[in-house]
Amino acid sequence: MEIAQNFMGKLARNTMTRINENGNVVGTIIVNCEGFPETTTLDSLTAATYSTHMRNLSHHASNALKEIDVTDELVVLRLVSRKSEAVVAPDHEFTLIVVMRRS
């Protein structure tokens, strides 16, 4: 599972490698601020589907948190489903999505 890493710094590259080496991780997606997957270890259709839905969802979550406390900010969103687990970590420039097997 090689990923296009040319735009990433060493620290980010190491982090992505570490995450992808975890046996429960199915794949990772880095989504840019326009909502397109920049880098992924998944196939492009799966990456695009996850990118769209998880980014929308993290916006909704962020807005919901701001309605509860305007000074609060979303750090991580984790969805556990019957079949898999998805972790979304939104940031200003990129959103990281990690898709995992249920452990």
Q: Which of 22, 81, 27 has the alpha carbon at shortest distance from 57?
A: 81
Let me know: does 3 contact 20? Beta carbons within 8 Å.
yes
| Interface residue list for a second copy (CB under 8 A) | 49-50, 53-54, 56-57, 60-61, 64-65, 67-69, 71-84
Closest by CA to 100, choosing from 35, 2, 29, is 29
Q: Which is nearer to a second copy, 16 or 54 (CB)?
A: 54
Shortest distance, position 7 Cβ to a second copy, whole Å: 27
Q: How far is the CB of 77 from a second copy (least distance, A)?
A: 6
